[in-house]
Amino acid sequence: MRPAWDLTGRTALVTGAGSATGIGFAAARMLGELGARVVLTATTDRVRERAAELAALGITASGIVCTLDDEIGARVLAEALAAAGLVPTILVNNAGMVAVDDAEMLHGDVTTSPTEWDRGLAINLSTAFHATRTVVGFMRAAGWGRIVTVSSVSGPVMASRGDVAYAAAKAGLVGLTRALAVDEAARGITANAVAPGWIETGSQLESEAIEGGLVPAGRSGTAVEVASVISWLASPGASYVTGQTIVVDGGNSIAEERRQAGGACRPGRG
């Protein structure tokens, strides 16, 4: 019997893996360390640098430059996979918006422009649809597959001010995950989501780092901590887990108090 964590002989596709400090790259590295051949995608050539870094560690890896927010980009991905003879049966949907400053993080409330709304949904929701649609046939043919989608606590669990498109898209990823789980379970394919909270990556904003210090764990999480959950869901040992969303937020979404212990009032005791 294959060990519960062994991914030898599997091929994993990880989207949005261009950042050296991001969740996507951390997941790709961990999946590779478990034996999988890894295919990374990103929108720039830096994804090839990430693939070279994994290869230097002895992981079989390749990078594909493509956008996945429309059908044209998905076609580029499909053609690249076919040309290289790659057949992924593990998919990590990680591609999405990364804010570069506090101003960019806020996309507006419900009065936001239709253009910004459509852009937010395309980048953060449609990318997962197109990537999944591209590779699900491989999983069906193999009678085995793992789809792990990186959502967020923002949308499915909580919400930030002035970011309706992002929240709606991330909540939509959970709905997509549940629908996939129901549709594909009989084919040996599982679909699950991971919902990170405040995570310390190279793109974390100063305001987000401050918020991370207020969670019960007292710190932001790390990309590796999220990647470990992704890797478990992608493993043979998670075969009876499907349609679930696992929150990775240091207890933030269950905490009623935000001030330091001993200094907060209890509800109803003003």
Return the active site residues.
Answer: 166
| Residue for token pair 């890894």 | 38
Cβ proximity of 49 and 62 under 8 Å? no
DSSP 124: I
Give the Å distances, CA to CA, from 259 to 2, 46, 199, 205, 209: 47, 41, 20, 21, 16
**Which of 178, 71, 163 has the alpha carbon at shortest distance from 126?**
71
CA distance 151 to 163: 15
List the beta bridge partners of residue 93. 149
DSSP 152: -
